[in-house]
Structure 1
Amino acid sequence: MKILEIIPQLSSGGGERFVVDLCNELSKEHDVTLMVLHSLDKVDFYLKEVSNNVRVVSMNKRMGLDIGLLFRVYRYIRREKPDVVHTHLRAIMYIAFAIMRKNGVMHCHTVHSAADKEAGGSFISSGMRKFCFHHGWITPITISAESLHSFRKYYGMDAPMIFNGRNVDAGMLVSDEVKEQFKQYRHTNKTRVLISLARIDPVKRQTLLARVVMRLKREGYDLTVLFIGGERDAQMTAELRSYNDEAIQLLGELHNPLEYLKMGDAYALCSSYEGMPISLIEAIGVGCIPVCTPVGGIVDVVHNGENGFLSDGIGEESYYKTVKRFLSLTDVQLKDMKQKALATYGPFSMYECARNYVRLFEKGIKK
């Protein structure tokens, strides 16, 4: 099967992480090309992690709306004749011409977030999706039960659901360098280290997490939070830096976040909405306890009080109480919950995810 995966750029986001892993897994048995719309000269965070079996092409998109890119993508698809064209994020907007002349190609699009948020605020963006989904020109794919629910509510139709995946080696080794770093993060042998693995962004609400951590520290709790991710929002980043406290550590973008998750005690995510966070799958894959708000696909993974903790809502007070519950675990309870988090990982491997995509692709091609 000849598969063309299309994504806007290879920045350090979860969607990009997912697409690279999916391409690598699919390429073990299929002919896979990864089309990146933007130039790779400036944004290539995951480029080195793309398998040699995957062909990578850049379309050198100009900033803003690039009408010419519609034609370049169309000509590429017409020339290469893939069996499947699979888009992610905003890339769906640039296959408009290609879907008008399908020529036996299956077009599909993964909805990586809540349906209304993913559709964007513009009439063109949401209108194109609604038209193409309802007319069967593009097959939408949701990523969790909550994702499917939001899709049905927004579009008034059904869609296939495939859980996101990520291949994680639970036996991975942590480098001596990272172990050494953690000596400064664990101030005592009782310090609990929380890992926030997400771009610094209003949706992820790292400033809320920082306020919760500082409040708990003032109450006498021994904890540190490590913020790992691109500093997308300058104002939020400045606020986080303003604490100037050893309990708040900003590490920026890292290529080895799994090592930090494995060394940490909890994965802290207090987003206002989500799809199915790849970082959550990474966390359970190494036995890092999720402490999250109950949004998106998180509720399909985390069972409150068993393999992690879910707050009652997305408010600050609710999340504060949830982090406090986590901090109240004894060392024995902590170890037991880490094992339960790790045991949850099985269905979320990229191997399982890719198999489900292949089944969907094959079904679509036969139509």
Structure 2
Amino acid sequence: MRIVQLIDSLEAGGAERMAVNYANVLADEIEFSGLVATRKEGALLSQINPNVSYLFLNKKKQLDLIAVFRLRSFVLKNRVTHIHAHSTSFFLAFLLKLLCPTLLLIRHDHYGNNVFLENRPHFVLKLTKSFFKGVIAVNQKLKNWSEVKLKSRNVIYLPNFSVKAAQEKSHTFLKGTEGKRIVSLANLREQKNHFFLLKVAQKLKESNPDWTFHLVGKDFDDEYAVQIKQLIKEYALENNVFMYGSKQDIGNILNQASIAILTSKSEGLPVSLLEYGLYKKAVVVTRVGEISAIVQNGKNGFIVDADREDLFYQSLVNLIENEILRTDFGTALYNTIQTDYTAESIIKKYLNWIQTS
């Protein structure tokens, strides 16, 4: 097989990380593994395996014929058999299929706004569904949605997976006191619910002022980001909550933290949670998406409803006051990830699905 991953950008988001992960792992498993970024490059460019054939299309508009034909040339030159299109890049894959009818297309659905899934626009997805050999969903809810709403066939649920970077330069140094840092890996998007996080930080400032929160994720310079920064000032959290923007030395960052959190109100299967597990972090997370399939409350972390700031706060305090519990949770979460969410197990299922469906 000769497979190309198609993704709109290489910014540090969940879908983007998965496109890079698939390309990197497949480079050692199949004849040819490629990766094409359509609209924008980004920080993940540095994480692409040297054995992966990479192309940047620099696509300027929705219907960019120059980009389509550049992609066609890349596909023909490398005798590509499959295009694995992540998120919204599926439409470019559809256009390419019109020029290369023998290509087999896979659509990877990373849609994270599951709370409003019933309102998700789907006209174009339904219009193009017959051109795709199959659909990969990152959670069961998305799998059901494709089967029921789109009447798609050959839909498989494959959880996300994370891999440790082979070589990672340590360039991010977290503020605060060693042993008293709480990290959140989440881009500044509304579904990540940083407002919830700040309300919890307010409470923790009163009871445990020496513990600090460290927000790592892309700042889109939009109204949501502005509101976060305003609330940090309004709540007088300048010395308790620190923002770092998008970073790539995730292992280095997590090694500096004692607790890791997610406060999302909507999710698929967050790659950041898998990374927490890989680095044996004790976690407090919200019960959304597929998170509850990984975190078992009181066994390998704490999981609470997305509207319960009081329980989230109390769970943090429980971890803060019990170092042994933090260690036990971190080890248990690591074991969970190693059992069900490794690259090896997911890629094996992925290749078997492609070959047999």
The percent of aligned pairs where both chains have the same amino acid is 19
> Is residue 182 of structure 2 the alignment partner of residue 194 of structure 1?
yes
> Is residue 222 of structure 2 the alignment partner of residue 224 of structure 1?
no
Give per-residue Cα distances to partners, 1:240-268, cap 9 Å, x unaligned.
55245221011222111222223322221
Q: Distance in 2 between matches of 1:113 and 1:172?
A: 30
Give 2:93's aligned residue. 95
Give the aligned residue type for 1:310: I
CA distance 1:172–1:267, shift in 2 (3 Å): farther
> Is residue 338 of structure 2 the alignment partner of residue 348 of structure 1?
no
CA distance 1:157–1:36, shift in 2 (3 Å): closer
Q: 1:208 aligns with which of 189, 196, 206?
A: 196
- Alpha-carbon offset, residue 353 of structure 1: 2.0
Q: Distance in 2 between matches of 1:128 and 1:173?
A: 40
Q: Distance in 2 between matches of 1:18 and 1:48?
A: 14
Give 1:66's aligned residue. 63
Q: Distance in 1 between matches of 2:148 and 2:142?
A: 10
CA distance 1:229–1:163, shift in 2 (3 Å): same
Give 2:310's aligned residue. 320
Give per-residue Cα distances to partners, 1:179-238, cap 9 Å, x unaligned.
xx45x5227x6x3x2211011111111122012111222245642110001112332343
Q: 2:123 aligns with which of 124, 127, 131?
A: 127
Contact 2:284 2:315 in 1 (8 A): no
Give the aligned residue type for 1:209: L
Give 2:82's aligned residue. 84
Bigger mean CA offset, 104-113 vs 320-329:
320-329
Give per-residue Cα distances to partners, 1:242-300, cap 9 Å, x unaligned.
24522101122211122222332222111121111111100011111221111112111
- Alpha-carbon offset, residue 119 of structure 1: 8.6
CA distance 1:290–1:70, shift in 2 (3 Å): same
Q: Distance in 1 between matches of 2:229 and 2:2?
A: 46
**SS of match in other structure, 2:188:** coil
Give 2:226's aligned residue. 235
Aligned CA RMSD, in angstroms, stands at 3.0
Contact 1:200 1:236 in 2 (8 A): no
Q: Distance in 2 between matches of 1:74 and 1:278?
A: 31
**Within-5 A mapping of 1:283-322:** 283-312=276-305, 314-315=306-307, 318-322=308-312
Contact 2:283 2:330 in 1 (8 A): no
- Alpha-carbon offset, residue 16 of structure 1: 1.1
**Within-5 A mapping of 1:22-171:** 22-30=22-30, 31-39=32-40, 43-62=41-60, 64-68=61-65, 69-74=67-72, 76-77=74-75, 80-100=78-98, 103-114=101-112, 126-133=122-129, 135=130, 137-152=132-147, 154-156=149-151, 159-168=155-164
Contact 1:147 1:297 in 2 (8 A): no
Give the aligned residue type for 2:329: M
Q: Distance in 2 between matches of 1:9 and 1:156?
A: 29
Q: Distance in 1 between matches of 2:211 and 2:150?
A: 43
- Alpha-carbon offset, residue 24 of structure 1: 0.8
**SS of match in other structure, 1:52:** coil
**SS of match in other structure, 2:324:** helix
Contact 1:99 1:137 in 2 (8 A): no
| Aligned residue pairs, count | 346
Give per-residue Cα distances to partners, 1:292-325, cap 9 Å, x unaligned.
111112111111111111113x22xx03312312
What TM-score comes out, normalization by structure 1 length?
Answer: 0.84
CA distance 1:323–1:331, shift in 2 (3 Å): same
**SS of match in other structure, 2:277:** helix
Contact 1:165 1:352 in 2 (8 A): no
Give 2:270's aligned residue. 277
What TM-score comes out, normalization by structure 2 length?
Answer: 0.86
Give the aligned residue type for 1:88: H
Contact 1:216 1:324 in 2 (8 A): no
CA distance 1:298–1:355, shift in 2 (3 Å): same
- Alpha-carbon offset, residue 29 of structure 1: 2.7
**SS of match in other structure, 2:243:** strand
Unaligned runs of 5+ in 1: none
